[in-house]
A and B are shown apart, each in its own frame.
Chain A
């Protein structure tokens, strides 16, 4: 009797989990399915799970759309440039906080952690005025340059935790061999924290790729739009019939890089979210 009860429980568990999985990933499925439909199919009542005559028309069209391709290029360009600088500066600052003893370290570290409490919107307005004075509004610079100053205290913290776990003797012996801090940082410490670096890179990538508020503020010309900003213009509130297949095609293409990154990095992410989330 108990065995049947156990089996039933297992069955219910799997049904619940599968149901939740279906619900969680449904938007993705619907996005792809809708991108293969025609406009009248997406706007008609009645459920069309998979279009009876899938058409790739929207995909062909979008590759002829100059503005979309420019936005795609802009996103790739700005994310690459911002990611590289931010990652390196975070790695440097995390090194200072974990591997070197210097007076004032705890105070500076405490200051850094307390900036996590400041909501970014308190800084939006003055930073905008500042960049406006520099003449940077309308360029990618305000989206890229702040990151070069180790933007993101939470990420520094996460990396610091991993760096602090490397035995100190490693640096000591390198010192005896005549290495300097830059060499130790680049050649010894960084290779040892590849996994957390990959996680941080993923988080930064996702954050930059999805970012809407800052590009929306600073980019004023369509030729400079990044993907999220451009895609949001595809949906026009004043139209009665939205070109959903086109929008969903753009959506699918926007999502592909995220999916690829998630696929390769998910093992690291799932572990370090748990570690960083709790001790952060």
Chain B
């Protein structure tokens, strides 16, 4: 067609718009025919036509980009389909799923790593977001500026450029974060705190790595090594024990959306409840846990569901921080990273489809479980 790639795209975009307009008229006309045949009033016919006309960009797209692809990928997940090899598609039944679930160490690693980010990263993220929201809720001057600066990371968020800046800051020897930690560990209580945190983090990471490769050697070694030496600093992007924690750090940094939602929740709590509790002699701490917290649970629930879906789908930070970084890759890859690697580096479409269906199932099951459990702890009373 057209040689210049930019003009080519413009032409395709124009054709697409034309296609959407034509198909919208067709869908609208069809809908009108059906209701006319059923004997609707002219007014209703006109509304039906307009409704389907305006909605059909989505309806048409839903079939082209969701229904048909999902059907095909379900079919491919039962086949051996390698797009680059030129061989015909071969039906293999459940073989892909069996391999993934029982033989594929990399998939298990990616699953465990994603789980780590969800089990350890998400609660940290929620806690920091809640803490910042509680601070901002004190009605102080300059709230806007603080709110803005807490939300800024969400906007910059997972841009490759900003992630690379984190990569620079997380360097073990020369990175600014470790240099600051080193400088601060000259002070005694802080030094102990930091060493304790390092120990806890390394033990938990070693435990997860143990699930990864089914031997707990490293876990025992970390326990044996005991409390870290006084000059130890975190090894962020250098050691398998720290690779996931670096991603958690990034997640916590980007907690701005959660914070805004908690802030809205805190604002919605009726003043009278706090005043009544204060009259009854409740301390600030008690008021938070007995009054604010139960009323915040719907917001916590929302953040939990959305945050969990997001952390199950994480890709960019892992790609930027650990792409091809061989010794670290198994300790860091997420489900989506593994899916990308299988489908687009190895071009194993059938296998990739099976992974994506498993990912979909996992996300669905976790979300459904969360909705089932919400009755036990989420309070909707006052609303």
Query: A residues near B, CB below 8 A?
Result: 10, 13-14, 16-17, 20-21, 24-25, 27-28, 30-31, 34, 42-47, 77-78, 81, 85, 89, 92-93, 95-97, 100-105, 108, 111-112, 115, 117-130, 132, 139-141, 144-146, 148-151, 156, 181, 185, 206, 209-210, 212-213, 216-217, 224, 227-229, 231-232, 234-235, 237, 242, 244, 247-248, 250-252, 254-255, 258-259, 261-262, 266, 269-270, 273-274, 277-278
Determine if A210 and B66 form an interchain contact, defined as CB atoms under 8 angstroms apart: no
Residue from A21, A42, A120 in contact with B150 in the complex, judged by beta carbons closer than 8 Å: A21
Determine if B12 and A85 form an interchain contact, defined as CB atoms under 8 angstroms apart: no
Main secondary structure of the interface of B (DSSP, over half): helix
B86 at the interface (CB under 8 A from A): no
Determine if B55 and A96 form an interchain contact, defined as CB atoms under 8 angstroms apart: yes
- In chain B, positions 1-34 with a C-beta closer than 8 Å to chain A are 5-6, 8-10, 12-13, 16-17, 20, 31
22 contacts between A and B (CB under 8 A): A20-B135, A21-B146, A24-B152, A30-B165, A30-B176, A45-B179, A47-B176, A81-B9, A93-B54, A101-B51, A117-B367, A119-B360, A122-B73, A122-B356, A128-B343, A129-B76, A130-B69, A146-B61, A181-B53, A212-B320, A251-B162, A277-B261
Determine if B316 and A213 form an interchain contact, defined as CB atoms under 8 angstroms apart: yes
Smallest CB-CB separation from A116: which chain B residue? Answer: B309
For the complex, what is the distance from the CA of A115 to the CA of B61, rounded to whole Å? 12
- In chain B, positions 130-182 with a C-beta closer than 8 Å to chain A are 132, 135-136, 138, 140, 145-153, 155-162, 164-169, 173-174, 176, 179-180
Determine if A112 and B58 form an interchain contact, defined as CB atoms under 8 angstroms apart: yes
Determine if A273 and B257 form an interchain contact, defined as CB atoms under 8 angstroms apart: yes
B344 at the interface (CB under 8 A from A): yes
Collect the chain B residues with CB atoms within 8 Å of residue A248's CB: 164-165, 168
For the complex, what is the distance from the CA of A150 to the CA of B24, rounded to whole Å? 13
A177 to chain B, nearest CB (A): 16
Query: B residues near A, CB below 8 A?
Result: 5-6, 8-10, 12-13, 16-17, 20, 31, 35, 44, 47-48, 50-55, 57-62, 64-66, 68-70, 72-73, 76, 83, 132, 135-136, 138, 140, 145-153, 155-162, 164-169, 173-174, 176, 179-180, 183, 253, 257, 260-261, 263-264, 299, 302, 306, 309, 312-313, 315-316, 319-320, 323-325, 335-336, 339-340, 343-344, 349, 352-353, 356-357, 359-360, 363-364, 367
Given A122-B70, A149-B64, residue A102 in contact with residue B165 (CB < 8 A):
no
Determine if B364 and A117 form an interchain contact, defined as CB atoms under 8 angstroms apart: yes
In the A-B complex, list the 5 residue pairs whose CB atoms are closest, starting with the nearest. Answer: A149-B61, A102-B51, A96-B54, A251-B161, A126-B69
Determine if A121 and B179 form an interchain contact, defined as CB atoms under 8 angstroms apart: no
For the complex, what is the distance from the CA of A100 to the CA of B51, rounded to whole Å? 6
